């Protein structure tokens, strides 16, 4: 599973990245996690609002800091597919 956090590196984006890492750890989910800070790259991915969480090319959260519990629910649903 490839997870990308899109955002300029602001505190909200950094918190989102920490939440993604925590959710993956709690689920024992192995994922390739990266942070995209380049506005052009974010635009290519279709990100309109940051922070955004992108899993395997699909935006699952945008414009808010998702909680660890929200992320666990979304990631476990995606992992079971």
Positions annotated as catalytic residues are 10, 13
Peptide bond into 51 cis (omega under 30): yes
53 Cβ neighbours under 8 A, 6+ residues apart: 3, 4, 5, 6, 16, 20, 59, 60, 61, 62, 66, 71, 74
Looking up tokens 């989910």, which residue turns up?
A: 29
């Amino acid at each position: 599973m490839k997870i990308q956090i899109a955002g300029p590196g602001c505190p909200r984006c950094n918190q989102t990245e920490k939440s993604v890492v925590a959710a993956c750890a709690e689920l024992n989910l192995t994922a390739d996690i990266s942070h995209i800070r380049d506005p052009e790259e974010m635009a290519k991915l279709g990100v309109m609002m940051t922070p955004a969480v992108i899993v395997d090319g699909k935006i699952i959260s945008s414009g808010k800091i998702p909680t660890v519990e929200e992320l666990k629910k979304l990631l476990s649903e995606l992992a079971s597919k």
